[in-house]
Amino acid sequence: MRSNFNIILKISDSCPLACDYCYYFRNIVSEHKKRPLKISIRTVQAICKRINEYSKSVDISKVFFSLHGGEPLTVWKRYFCKICDELERNLTVPYKLLLQSNGVLIDEEWINILKKYNVQLGISIDGPEKYQNVHRKLKNGKGSFEIVNSNILKCISNGLKPGVLLVIDPYFNPEEIFKYVVDDLTIEGMDILIRDYTVDTIPSEQYVQDVSSCLSRWMDLWLNHNNPNLHIRLFDSMLRVLQGKGSCLEFGFRNNINSIPTVTIYTDGEISPADELSSISSDFMNIQKNVHQNSFEEVFKLKKFEKIRVACTQVAEECKDCYLQNVCCGGAGLLERYSSKKGFRNRGVYCKVWKDLFTKLIEKLLLSGYSRDKLIKVLQGIKL
């Protein structure tokens, strides 16, 4: 069976912003302090070699590189081109480059480079000025709105339409943010994320309730906008699983047991499980494998990857009575199901959020004439 291979590639280990919720520079995983500030060309070549080698035993349909940092654009332009050229020269399997930026350093030259290498751009924002400037500050303490807003508009006027990634603060007004992104910036591709909490760290039930109310308003905005070209990855995934298709999320909702696990590769070539799990602990992420010494086959034989694979395909005992278990499968991510006592064998801490959103979407689907029989089959876990 052909599979995509998702690699989060940290090409830089520095960033011009100092966001107060940054999981990379501010949480328990502080290994980055020991790493080179940018990936070396030797490491890029080693990654290509490992992928080519792995593709001899596994049928890889495409490798998706998500170029991350820190901020990936801090590697500067000529060096970035060198990285892209090395990938092009050395890889024997098809690949696609995606780049997640905070938008601060983008200028016309960068736009031309991203276009030249056909890089799909995502920009992380929190919303209009009054929200963006709360958490996403420059290192000098000033808000980043003015510069990021102007750079997004620059991208659009130069024919590079980015997607945006929003980390949801339940106390920000969704209507104002939606208006800013969809009407003012004319963005059509969005990803909305909720904060990374585990069973051990979730602040309170009230917080979950507030997230649920906030996302419910987001879903209403998306549904009422009635524009088939407006994509919000989280909601698209919910709709897809209710229609018996696969989710577009990394670890959430319904997962493909046969897919290749996502890995993160750091600037020194070190490999770890997907970045999204980094809030668990540095021990969890530290598997002591590196592209310079180890093959992906060795990496995927590790017990930790087996645990992730099992967690992706099994729901917790507490979910087994839930009528949504075959579509929600325990939540939108693995992190929310984690506790130090029971590992991933918990109901997701955002259970109420998913229950409310799936229920709303089911009602909407039925009202729009979607087949009740098909929906029942999907909820019962029967393949369409």
**Where along the sequence are the contacts to ligand SF4 (CB under 6 A)?**
15, 17-19, 22, 24-25, 69-71, 102, 315, 319, 322, 324-325, 328, 330-331, 347-348, 351, 354-355
Please name which of 124, 131, 143 lies closest in space to residue 18, comparing C-alpha atoms. 143
Indicate the residue among 194 and 299 with the shorter CB distance to ligand SF4: 194
Closest distance of CB 186 from ligand SF4, Å: 23
Indicate the residue among 60 and 336 with the shorter CB distance to ligand SF4: 336
Beta strands 263-265 and 270-273: pairing type? antiparallel
Indicate the residue among 68 and 289 with the shorter CB distance to ligand SF4: 68
Closest distance of CB 365 from ligand SF4, Å: 17
Indicate the residue among 25 and 305 with the shorter CB distance to ligand SF4: 25
Closest distance of CB 340 from ligand SF4, Å: 19
Closest distance of CB 225 from ligand SF4, Å: 25
Closest distance of CB 89 from ligand SF4, Å: 29
Instruction: List C-alpha distances in Å: 308 to 39, 59, 261, 279, 301.
Output: 27, 21, 8, 15, 12
Indicate the residue among 139 and 303 with the shorter CB distance to ligand SF4: 139
Closest distance of CB 236 from ligand SF4, Å: 18
> Residue 338 class from Cβ within 10 Å (0-12 exposed, 13-18 middle, 19+ buried)?
buried
Closest distance of CB 168 from ligand SF4, Å: 14
What is the token pair recorded at 80? Answer: 């970035």
Output the 3-class SS for the chain: CCEEEEEEEECECCCCECCCCCHHHHCCCCHHHHCCCECCHHHHHHHHHHHHHHCCCCCEEEEEEEEECCCHHHHCHHHHHHHHHHHHHHCCCCEEEEEEECCCCCCHHHHHHHHHCCCEEEEEECCCHHHHHHHCEECCCCECHHHHHHHHHHHHHCCCCCEEEEECCCCCCHHHHHHHHHHHCCCCEEEEECCCCCCCCCCCHHHHHHHHHHHHHHHHHHHHHCCCCCEEHHHHHHHHHHCCCCCCCCCCCCCCCCCCCCEEECCCCEEEECHHHCCCCHHHHCCCEECCCCCHHHHHCCHHHHHHHHHHHCCCHHHCCCCCHHHHCCCCCCHHHCECCCECCCCCCCHHHHHHHHHHHHHHHHHCCCCHHHHHHHHCCCCC
Indicate the residue among 52 and 122 with the shorter CB distance to ligand SF4: 122
Specify which residues 273 forms β-bridges with: 263
Please list, residue by residue across 241-258, b when 16 or more beta carbons sit within 10 angstroms of its beta carbon and e when fewer do.
Answer: bbebeebebbbbbbbeee
Closest distance of CB 57 from ligand SF4, Å: 34
Indicate the residue among 22 and 202 with the shorter CB distance to ligand SF4: 22
Closest distance of CB 41 from ligand SF4, Å: 23
Indicate the residue among 43 and 346 with the shorter CB distance to ligand SF4: 346
Indicate the residue among 102 and 133 with the shorter CB distance to ligand SF4: 102
Closest distance of CB 96 from ligand SF4, Å: 22
Indicate the residue among 22 and 91 with the shorter CB distance to ligand SF4: 22
